[in-house]
Amino acid sequence: MRRINKSTRWVWAMAAIGSICAMPAGWAAAPPEAASCAACHGADGMGNAAAGYPRLAGLPKQYLADQLRYFADGTRQNAVMAGMAKPLTAAQIDALAAYYAGMKPKGGSAPAPSAAVAAAGERLARRGDWDKGIPACIRCHGPGAVGVGENFPPLVGQSAAYIEAQIKAWKDGSRRGDPLGMMHTVALRMSDTQTQDVAQWLAAQPLTLKPSTAAKH
């Protein structure tokens, strides 16, 4: 074994302290309200696929804060989340959004669906179905559906059950607050089969984008 001298140990100790200091602000001080969130969304913020509770870890801060406000004012209808969100102050919403936005997503993906479902789902996610007016998911949610900016959350890392429920909620209007009504518009054009296919394919995708060979700028 390599001998670790005193000065090396010192460097390691400083590096460890440094890495704690470098953690996102939210990690250093989890807001007390996050304890309620963790019961369903997990201590790691990755949700609960079986129950359909979504991943929060690493979602855009603005998006998370918007959703809490929408739950509170009924723009996004959900009895449980309305109860959770209504008592929150603006500062608490901000702190929770920052906390979960700063969390690094981790974990695996759902198993791949059958070949037929995977092919149909992948086609929809990558190319859309323009005859029906359905744009590809990746055109707004980014390559690998890993999310873009503050308004287009990652779709990967969410369970098929959650994705399917959201598309249906956009469709029936029980979820609103999407910029320009884009998701409502798209969801109205999607069949139940398309919704299930794309949800299952997305749920089986890796959490992060593979290094791209595309030109850097």
Partner 1 sequence: MKRHPTALALVLLSSGLLQAAAHAADAPSAPPKAEINAAVGTGATFTPPPESSIPDDEFGKMIKLGRDIMLDTPKYAKAYVGNTLSCVNCHTDAGRMAGSAPLWAAYVNYPAYRSKNKKVNTYEERIQGCFMYSQNGKAPPLGSETLVALESYSYWLAKGLPTDEKVAGRGYPDVAEPAQSPDYVRGQKVYDAKCAVCHGADGQGQYVGGETVFPPLWGDKSFNWGAGMGSYKNAAKFIYANMPYGMSYSLTPQEAWDVAYFMDAHERPQDPRWQGSVAATRAKFHDTKFSLYGIRVNGKLLGDTGAPKKR
Interface residue list for partner 1 (CB under 8 A): 75, 127-128, 130-135, 139-140, 142-144, 146-149, 151-152, 176-182, 184-186, 189, 209, 211-217
Closer residue to partner 1 (CB): 6 or 217? 217
- C-alpha closest to that of 90 among 103, 72, 76: 72
Q: How far is the CB of 149 from partner 1 (least distance, A)?
A: 5
Pairwise CA distance, residues 52 & 170, whole Å = 16
Q: Nearest distance from residue 66's CB to partner 1, in Å?
A: 10
Contact 72, 96 (CB under 8 A): no
Q: Shortest Cβ distance from residue 23 to partner 1 (Å)? A: 23
Cβ count within 10 A of residue 73? 12
- Inter-axis angle of helices 34-41 and 90-101, nearest 10: 50
Dist CA 31 CA 205 (whole Å): 31
| In the complex, least distance from residue 168 CB atom to partner 1, rounded to whole angstroms | 16
Q: Give, in order, the Cα–Cα distances in Å from 58 to each of 96, 149, 154.
A: 12, 12, 9
Complex with partner 1: residue 31 or 153, whichever CB lies closer:
153
Tokens 């794309």 correspond to 198
Instruction: Tell me how far, at minimum, the Cβ of 139 lies from partner 1, in Å.
Output: 7
State the residue for tokens 């309305």. 82
* Min separation Cβ 153 and partner 1, Å: 12
Angle at 91 between CA 53 and CA 78, to 5 degrees: 30
Give the span between the Cα atoms of 41 and 100, in whole angstroms. Answer: 10
Closest to partner 1 by CB, 64 vs 95, is: 64
Closest to partner 1 by CB, 75 vs 109, is 75
Torsion of CA 91, 180, 203, 38, to 10 degrees: 10
Nearer to partner 1, 61 or 189 (CB): 189
Closer Cβ to partner 1, 38 or 148, answer by number: 148
